[in-house]
């Protein structure tokens, strides 16, 4: 069981790292271009062609360095940054579901049911015959959402006997989950539903003052803060669930 939990944690960490790299995409491209032009400039200098009007790359090099210094291209990558939040929420949801499945499966195999023993689910004979995975059947009937921290906390408390404590990390995740919905379904515009969803998610470090009809624009630092909070929360859930198994 420990090895499986370690794999879930590692997979999530790799996904978060991939998202971080995506936020640095413009910096990577600019660095590549600057390095290439600097190499050409040195090559031309050795041949006394560095200032030749037909060969010089100094002007192009200066322009790209200015672009990087002023982050002139950053607005063009804003959609990508917003989608990084969507990716983080999806990866987090998947990791939490994997953790829940493995922990629940472990309890069932070990007959450590406790409150689960009296839990009822309505199934047909056909479902019993065709679905050999008890955990899948249970989840399909309980309709648990892993993209909402309130639902996640309730599921872990009701069925695994561990409820994550409210914290700044949890509040950051609630914010990210609410904004993910706005980015996917509302064109990134903050609606009443989002305001209400995050009203109790305080204190938090990301988007502390959301306004109605505000357009969501996430920064690299905010994305890293969300990723760190998700990692901390997953670690906390793994630690708490492990004690119950």
Q: What is the domain partition of the chain in residue ranges? A: 2-24+77-111+164-244, 25-76
Confidence grade of residue 125 (pLDDT, cut at 50, 70, 90): low
Compute CA distances 225 → 13, 72, 168, whole Å.
14, 23, 11
- Percent share of the chain, pLDDT over 90: 52
Confidence grade of residue 139 (pLDDT, cut at 50, 70, 90): confident
> Which residues lie below 8 Å from residue 36, measured CB to CB, with a gap of 6+?
none
Confidence grade of residue 129 (pLDDT, cut at 50, 70, 90): low
Give the per-residue pLDDT at 100. Answer: 94
């Amino acid at each position: 069981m420990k090895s499986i939990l370690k794999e879930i944690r590692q997979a999530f960490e790799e996904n978060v790292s991939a998202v971080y790299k995506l936020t640095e995409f413009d910096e990577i491209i600019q660095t590549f271009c600057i390095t290439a032009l600097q190499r050409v400039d040195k090559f031309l200098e050795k041949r006394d062609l560095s200032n030749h009007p037909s060969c010089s790359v100094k002007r192009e090099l200066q322009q790209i360095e200015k672009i990087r210094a002023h982050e002139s291209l950053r607005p063009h990558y804003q959609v990508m940054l917003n989608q990084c939040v969507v990716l983080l929420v999806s990866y987090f949801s998947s990791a939490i579901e994997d953790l829940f499945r493995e922990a629940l499966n472990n309890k069932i195999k070990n007959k450590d049911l406790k409150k689960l023993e009296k839990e009822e689910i309505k199934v047909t004979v056909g479902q019993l015959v065709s679905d050999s995975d008890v955990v899948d059947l249970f989840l399909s009937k309980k309709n648990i959402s892993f993209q909402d921290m309130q639902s996640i906390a309730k599921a872990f408390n009701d069925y695994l006997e561990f409820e994550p404590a409210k914290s700044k990390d949890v509040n950051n995740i609630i914010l990210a989950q609410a904004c993910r919905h706005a980015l996917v379904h509302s064109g990134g515009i903050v609606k009443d539903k989002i305001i209400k969803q995050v009203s109790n998610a305080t204190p938090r470090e990301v988007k502390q003052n959301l306004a109605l009809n505000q357009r969501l624009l996430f920064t690299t630092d905010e994305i890293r803060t969300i990723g760190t909070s998700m990692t901390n929360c997953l670690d906390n859930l793994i630690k708490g669930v492990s004690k119950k198994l």
